[in-house]
Structure 1
Amino acid sequence: MPDPTLQVSLLTPSEAEQYMLVRHETFRNTVNKILYPRGEPSQKTLDRVTSEIRDGITNKGILFLKCVDTTTNTIVAGARWRYVKPTNPDAKQRTWAEVDAGLVNHLDPYDESDPALLTALYDLFNVHQRKVLETQPHYILDTLVTLPQHERRGAGSMLVGWGCAKADEAGVVAYLEASLIAAPMYARHGFEAVGELELDLRKFGGDEEMRFIAMLRPAKKVDGV
């Protein structure tokens, strides 16, 4: 059971820096190896990440979530969800033009990035998302982060459950790419493996191969409607 002192709600623009710090610390030994292979990110880079989060909330309709420990009023975990749907409100499916336009564009490299590595990452994920999701609308979990000292309190599960409930309300599938260690938690929320993805950092000067499991949660209506 989740810790009753934890509470999930939407992140506000003024909290973007707090979310950034949680993300950075959580990803320090994993995803940061892809984002910043050339060294610890500078304050300039961290400020840019904060600005991107704030812009996502304010201008792009991205659903950033926070999980707060109410005993200390601090953010201990966060998530980034997106609802991808047809532009035409009467349409059941997206057009292929909308699919291609909606795939995550290659991120402009940070000073500490390897542009070729970032391109490889987004090409890997985009190709698989296009194949699995095709034109169907969906909720997608881009990011889930929990500070290491607050793991096993149920924060991550609460943030995943929030998005699953939204997907059920809309009657659409949910999709994500999980680390191997996180996959069992997602499976408990009804996600099923639909493929394995590999990114060999050794081709870009790194020292390991990162593996991800693509996972899909079938669409269903609330109360089985």
Structure 2
Amino acid sequence: MSTTSTLKLETLTIEDNSALTDLWFAAFSDPILRRVFPNTPGVRKWLENANAHDLLNKSFQRYIKVVDTESQDAEGRPRIAAYAKWDLSMPEERGRRYPPWHEEMPGELCEAFFMKEEANRKRVMGDTRHFYLDTVATHPDYQRRGAGSLLVKWGCDLADAQGVQAYVDASKDGAPLYAKFGFVDHSLPGEDIASMARR
């Protein structure tokens, strides 16, 4: 099993934004999610613009990345193995998670998908202040090498330092990673997404 010796945690910058889109689509190939986010040039640009907006305008959202210090991307920079988006705001400050849906996206399905996630988070967390792990994306080349753990630990350590709870919407496959850090699944029976809270 590979170690994390070549993997390093860093703050993500706007210069990394186009690489994030490539990584996101490589990491999330689940058929259900791909229906919501079809891999088209228009949707890719929409996602890139959404991340750019949040990077530049939402200081309460922290983007962090794990780079491979022994591998370079096409521009000669350390390759991004994984990234995470942690939302540190109060629940009432967050506002809408995404901009209006792209015309190539199934708008009604998108609304239903994310409204269900929001409803489950509200059911589990109520109005309690908590850090929200919005996204963890690991490139398939780096899965099970510790990149995801570095990203989750970063937010959990910050939550512990501030005495704050944390929450993540996890795939069933991804749930064991979060359980290692103290997240507990509060999903209702039959749910596809694990509603996981760390008290």
Residue 197 of structure 1, CA deviation:
7.6
Secondary structure of residue in 2 paired with 1:71:
strand
Residue 49 of structure 1, CA deviation:
1.6
Secondary structure of residue in 2 paired with 1:195:
coil
Question: In terms of mean alpha carbon deviation, does 66-75 or 106-115 score higher?
Answer: 106-115
Q: Is 1:131 the counterpart of 2:123 in the alignment? A: yes
Q: Is 1:168 the counterpart of 2:151 in the alignment? A: no
Q: Distance in 2 between matches of 1:33 and 1:166?
A: 34
> Is the 2:83–2:136 contact (alpha carbons within 8 Å) kept by the matching residues of 1?
yes
Where in structure 2 are the equivalents of 1:17-166 lying within 5 Å? 17-30=18-31, 31-36=33-38, 40-42=39-41, 44-61=42-59, 62-72=61-71, 73-85=78-90, 99=92, 102=94, 104-105=96-97, 107-166=99-158
Q: Distance in 2 between matches of 1:146 and 1:196?
A: 27
Instruction: State the AA in 1 paired with 2:44.
Output: L
Deviation readout 1:178-199 (Å, 9 max, x if unpaired): 1111111110100011124867
Q: Which residue of 2 aligns with 1:194?
A: 186
Q: Is 1:213 the counterpart of 2:168 in the alignment? A: no
> Is the 1:178–1:214 contact (alpha carbons within 8 Å) kept by the matching residues of 2?
yes
> Is the 1:106–1:122 contact (alpha carbons within 8 Å) kept by the matching residues of 2?
no
Secondary structure of residue in 2 paired with 1:16:
helix
Residue 63 of structure 1, CA deviation:
1.0
Question: In terms of mean alpha carbon deviation, does 1-10 or 71-80 score higher?
Answer: 1-10
The unaligned stretches of length 5 or more in structure 2 are: 72-77
Q: Is 1:5 the counterpart of 2:3 in the alignment? A: no
Secondary structure of residue in 1 paired with 2:88:
strand
Q: 1:131 to 1:65 in 2, by over 3 A?
A: same
Residue 152 of structure 1, CA deviation:
1.1
Instruction: State the AA in 1 paired with 2:45.
Output: D
> Is the 2:24–2:137 contact (alpha carbons within 8 Å) kept by the matching residues of 1?
yes
> Is the 2:17–2:51 contact (alpha carbons within 8 Å) kept by the matching residues of 1?
yes
Q: Is 1:182 the counterpart of 2:163 in the alignment? A: no
Instruction: State the AA in 1 paired with 2:54.
Output: G
Deviation readout 1:146-194 (Å, 9 max, x if unpaired): 1111111100011000110111111100000111111111101000111
How many positions carry a matched residue from both structures?
A: 190
> Is the 2:131–2:165 contact (alpha carbons within 8 Å) kept by the matching residues of 1?
yes
Which structure's CA Rg is the greater one? 1
Secondary structure of residue in 2 paired with 1:135:
coil
Q: Distance in 1 between matches of 2:189 and 2:27?
A: 21
Residue 33 of structure 1, CA deviation:
2.4
TM-score (norm 2): 0.87
TM-score (norm 1): 0.78
The runs of 4+ residues in structure 1 deviating greater than 4 Å are: none
The unaligned stretches of length 5 or more in structure 1 are: 86-97, 200-210, 219-225
